[in-house]
Amino acid sequence: MPSDRRPADRTATDRTPSRRTVVKAAAAGAVLAAPLAAATSAHAAEAPAFLHGVASGDPLPDGILLWTRVTPSAEATPGSGKGPDVQVSWEIAEDKAFRTVVGRGTATASAATDHTVKADVRGLRPASTYHYRFSADGVHSPTGRTRTAPATDAAAPGLRFGVVSCANWEAGYYSAYRHLAARTDLDAVFHLGDYIYEYKTGEYPAADYTVRPHQPAHEIVSLADYRLRHATTKTDPDVQAMHTAHPLVAIWDDHEFANDAWSGGAENHTPGAEGDWAARQQAAKQAYFEWMPVRASTAGTVYRRLRFGKLADLHLLDLRSFRSQQSSVGNGDVDSADRSITGRAQLDWLKAGLSASDARWKLVGTSVMISPVAFGSLPAHLLGPLAELLGLPTEGLAVNVDQWDGYTHDRKELITHLREQGIRDTVFLTGDIHMAWANDVPVTAATYPLSPSAATEFVVTSVTSDNLDDTLHVAPNTLSVVAETAIKAANRHVKWVDMDSHGYGVLDLTAERTQMDYYVISDRADRNATTEWTRSYRTLSGTQKVVRADAPVR
């Protein structure tokens, strides 16, 4: 029986249809929030001020990235381009009282970076907890807690991560973040995309179901717009609590740009009326790197690799910057070798990293689902010839071509690489689809389970963004039981799917197994929503299959 014990150094106190067509509309209630600019002006009477909290991210064995935003004057509202330069000091210590300070430094916050500040701190001890803070003109920020990764060659006995995705401000409150912040046993939180949404107020969800309006009210297009939307998010007390408590490891998906984004545009971008796509994409990326505790790769993107001792290598993907335009549902073009979701350079980088990894678990953070989800499955001996005659996808009729289902050549190349190189214990961690799933990743879906599985996949549901019952405005489990049964019948590699809940996952790793515990919140429209465990699935080392676990890891 695998051990569920935590590392010894833990202490009790440490511890083409668009997505809008597929998953659209609705939340309950209407709670008005004061515009961010007015709130900032009111608080900034005592400027400088740290109104957006602090954050840390991308833990290394010897380092951590620290972040804050300082408001130096009343007119220096996010995105305004106004306000003077201000010197910001930071310090990091082994204790909350800062009696044992192990690092100090300064940086300049200016309008050029929207008065955000980052400090990439090195020289820290592996697998250790630290506390940090910023100051400007004698004013201190809140104190944050963070944690470094295990040493590169350390045989870490265990790791535990929060896992979240898809947090739409207008659809509800971020209770999932609050409950993760309250945990003392996490090494980091993984955010798998859609940290913000780009829509105008009242569009997604519709105005009648908007829980709280975001800023700015219009659809975000310019650099100032993206900066203000990020800033709005970081005024939320639950967002601040999560960032204060744990380091974040994040990738972007489409809504950090625009719905169903691809390398040359997006479903929710109108050329001309909304400007040039390249300029909008660049503005979104600049604001993201200013406002998120994320290290940009040398290519100016978010695909990168983090190591957590010999227990896990984490390969993080960017599935928006390099992808081909989405095909249409039922179009056999999804199988074309000329179309890519990753781009050639990133796919080669991923394959090389997986081959070179000596870690027990090869985790892949992918913003969209890699497991095939198809309907109208046919026997394998009929599916190929019929698909060729009719111009259909050879792996079945996919319903979401924004996922890897729309780019099957890349998926097949990656799965073939895993099989031919004998790469085992690969686990994909996924968000985007506003549902929770536990999947085997089959080599050939049409013949599964008679054919093997190459990896496994855990998909977390949304923090707030609409799922099936929200879309249809019905009570949970009204129609989803029928839909879930149909999906599992047509896709035998899908072991579990929950179409109704909002919440988060907690991923626990030991040498013997990886387990995802799924938690749901009681009501996304309730700022004080409670949480409860609903399901757990695990994959044992060497099996490439998921099985249900009886209880969450304690």
SS3 category, 130:
strand
Distance CA 21, CA 1 (A): 45
- pLDDT value at residue 20: 38
- pLDDT value at residue 46: 65
Give the DSSP per-residue string, 153-189: T---S-EEEEEE----GGG---HHHHHHHT-S--SEE
Distance CA 243, CA 162 (A): 12
Q: Confirm whether 372 is domain-assigned.
A: yes
Torsions phi, psi of 413, nearest 5?
A: -65, -40
Q: Label the pairing between strands 494-498 and 436-442.
A: antiparallel
Residue 266 has pLDDT above 90, yes or no: yes
- Residues 6 or more apart whose CB falls under 8 angstroms from that of 326 comprise 16, 260, 262, 267, 401, 402, 406
Residue 449 CB burial class (10 angstroms; 0-12, 13-18, ≥19): exposed
Torsions phi, psi of 411, nearest 5?
A: -60, -45
Which residue is listed with tokens 């998120």?
Answer: 292
Domain count, the chain: 1
Q: Confirm whether 107 is domain-assigned.
A: yes
Sign of CA dihedral 26, 28, 30, 36: negative
Residue 329 has pLDDT above 70, yes or no: yes
Q: Confirm whether 154 is domain-assigned.
A: yes
Q: Confirm whether 484 is domain-assigned.
A: yes
Torsions phi, psi of 124, nearest 5?
A: -95, 170
Which residues make beta-bridge pairs with 498? 436
What percent of the chain has pLDDT above 70? 87
Run of H or E residues at 490: helix 480-490
Q: Confirm whether 3 is domain-assigned.
A: no
Among 459, 485, 152, smallest CA distance to 305 is for 152
Q: Which DSSP state fits 49? A: B
Within 13 A of 403's CA, how many CA atoms are on the CB side? 21
Q: Confirm whether 15 is domain-assigned.
A: no
- pLDDT value at residue 5: 32
- pLDDT value at residue 164: 98
Tell me the H-state helices in 294-395.
344-356, 380-390
Which residue is listed with tokens 């920020």?
Answer: 141
Q: Confirm whether 16 is domain-assigned.
A: no
- Residues 6 or more apart whose CB falls under 8 angstroms from that of 482 comprise none
Among 407, 222, 216, smallest CA distance to 325 is for 407
In tens, the pLDDT along 415-446 reads 999 999 999 999 999 999 999 999 999 999 98
| Token pair for 100 | 């044992």
Q: Where in the sequence is the domain holding 192, given as residue range(s)?
A: 22-549
Q: Label the pairing between strands 188-191 and 248-250.
A: parallel
In tens, the pLDDT along 528-543 reads 999 999 999 999 999 9
Residue 289 has pLDDT above 60, yes or no: yes
Q: Label the pairing between strands 503-509 and 494-498.
A: unpaired
**Mean of the per-residue pLDDT values of the chain:** 89
In one-letter notation, the amino acid at residue 368 is V
In tens, the pLDDT along 30-76 reads 222 334 444 444 454 467 999 999 999 999 999 999 999 999 999 99
Q: Confirm whether 554 is domain-assigned.
A: no
Distance CA 264, CA 275 (A): 13
Residue 482 has pLDDT above 50, yes or no: yes
Which residues make beta-bridge pairs with 513? 540
- Residues 6 or more apart whose CB falls under 8 angstroms from that of 94 comprise 100, 102, 128, 129, 130, 131
The CATH number given to whatever domain includes residue 246 is 3.60.21.70
Distance CA 535, CA 516 (A): 8
What percent of the chain has pLDDT above 90? 79
CB atoms within 10 A of CB 434: 29
SS3 category, 365:
strand
SS3 category, 418:
helix
Distance CA 221, CA 200 (A): 10
